[in-house]
Amino acid sequence: MVRQRVAVIFGGRSGEHEVSIVSARSVMQALDPNRWEVVPFGVTRSGAWLTPEQTLQSLAAGHTAFRGGGASLLSSSAALDALAGCDVAFPLVHGTYGEDGTMQGFLEMANLPYAGCGVAASAIGMDKALMKALFREAGIPMARYAVLRSWDAAADEEQARDYIEQTIGYPCYIKPANGGSSVGVTRARSREDLGEAFAAAFAYDDKAVVEEEIRGREIECSVLGNEHPEASTVGEIVPDREFYDYESKYAATSTTQLHIPAPLPAEVVERVRELALRMFAVMGCEGYARVDFFVTAEGAVVANEINTIPGFTSISMYPKLWEASGLSYRDLLSRILDLGLQRHARRARR
């Protein structure tokens, strides 16, 4: 079998830069060497692209972030030439400029097959306000939410506070509409918390989503497939603090627990899996995505969001759920790349 060259693209300009590198290291180590030849592309915090050689040098030096070197992609003939020699791409840039449709659009323009969701689903999945509007239209059960713009809050912060109190109330969560890994998210208990919450959210985006707090268990389901997607078994996250924030997800001292399978009644598990597939379809996802929920004490399933490029270390929830469903990490990665190649071939027949 002739090995295919996989462009693994990671790092990037978002606040999830380091998380992306951890995911990519794990993926590159696990890809089946009999099927895939890894060609790594690091993207610096400024958006410059490193060549595969520069990327390998940085990784070998133990760097946890790409800070210097490289050039913009359009002025880096070495990076472009290396990318043009690849058969398929595995984008692992979490957050903005990677998970939001921009990377996917570039790969579409380059006519390079790639893993994961397409342009539209990626863009909607990154923008929580658009995602929630779509799900509300489709009748997906969700928490109440409101959308606030940075310039409106800056023009009259007291009016913005009144708006949140009148539409959502406390406690509530204020988060950047475009972002992930709980970066910039604040739990507001009262009016006094809103100033700091606005500053945290608007540091990352000009649009913030304000959500009512749902008291429930944090449940996740992995979805895989193109035309006929499948849902994995269901897992539960038990955070080690008030909510599942960045430190709870990634800090070495975190004692957050993952329960796979989630200890839930069979009918609740099936409801989660059914909604996960429905949300995947409504958003137009292909390839893979992780779908997050809350389950209340009464057994109600409330949708939270879809992550189109979830964390991808061997101990991340997405691959662990598939492992518990009978699909190994290595085989899962090959399946994801095959799905990208199959979608590209299907579209080429038009």
Please give the pLDDT value at position 251: 46
Share of the chain above pLDDT 70, in %: 94
DSSP 53-116: HHHHHHHHTT-SS--S--B-GGG-HHHHHHHHT-SEEEE---STTTSSSHHHHHHHHTT--BSS
The CATH number that domain 125-140+215-348 falls under is: 3.30.470.20
**Fold for the domain defined by 4-114:** Rossmann fold (3.40.50)
Asked whether the predicted pLDDT for residue 239 surpasses 60, the reply is: yes
Please give the pLDDT value at position 163: 95
**Burial profile 156-185: b = 16 or more Cβ within 10 angstroms, e = fewer:** eeeebbebbeeebeeebbbbbbbbbbbbbb
What distance in Å separates the CA atoms of residue 37 and residue 85, rounded to the nearest whole number? 11
CB 14 within 8 A of CB 179: yes
Please give the pLDDT value at position 4: 98
Please give the pLDDT value at position 349: 81
Residue 243 confidence class, pLDDT cut points 50, 70, 90: low
Residue 241 confidence class, pLDDT cut points 50, 70, 90: low
Domain spans, the chain: 4-114, 125-140+215-348, 145-212
Count the alpha carbons within 13 Å of 188 in the hemisphere toward its beta carbon. 28
**Fold for the domain defined by 145-212:** Dna Ligase; domain 1 (3.30.1490)
| Residue for token pair 């979608």 | 343
Continuous H helices in 172-284: 194-202, 246-250, 266-282
The torsion defined by the Cα of 17, 20, 21 and 23, in degrees rounded to 10, comes to 160
Asked whether the predicted pLDDT for residue 180 surpasses 70, the reply is: no
Higher-confidence position of 313 and 246 = 313
**Burial profile 111-150: b = 16 or more Cβ within 10 angstroms, e = fewer:** ebbbbbbbbebbbbbbbbbbbbebbeeeebebbebbbbeb
3-state secondary structure of 8: strand
CB 254 within 8 A of CB 271: no
Asked whether the predicted pLDDT for residue 342 surpasses 80, the reply is: yes
- Average pLDDT of span 67-83: 81
CB 98 within 8 A of CB 20: yes
Tens of pLDDT, residues 275-323: 999 999 999 999 999 999 999 999 999 999 999 999 998 889 999 999 9
Share of the chain above pLDDT 90, in %: 83
H or E segment at 219?
strand 217-225
Residue 182 confidence class, pLDDT cut points 50, 70, 90: confident
- Average pLDDT of span 125-139: 96
Asked whether the predicted pLDDT for residue 250 surpasses 50, the reply is: no
- Average pLDDT of span 45-67: 92
Asked whether the predicted pLDDT for residue 256 surpasses 90, the reply is: no
- 3-state SS, 127-194, equals EHHHHHHHHHHCCCCECCEEEEEHHHHHHCHHHHHHHHHHHCCCCEEEEECECCCCCCCEEECCHHHH
Asked whether the predicted pLDDT for residue 70 surpasses 90, the reply is: no
Tens of pLDDT, residues 77-113: 899 999 999 999 999 999 889 999 999 999 999 999 9
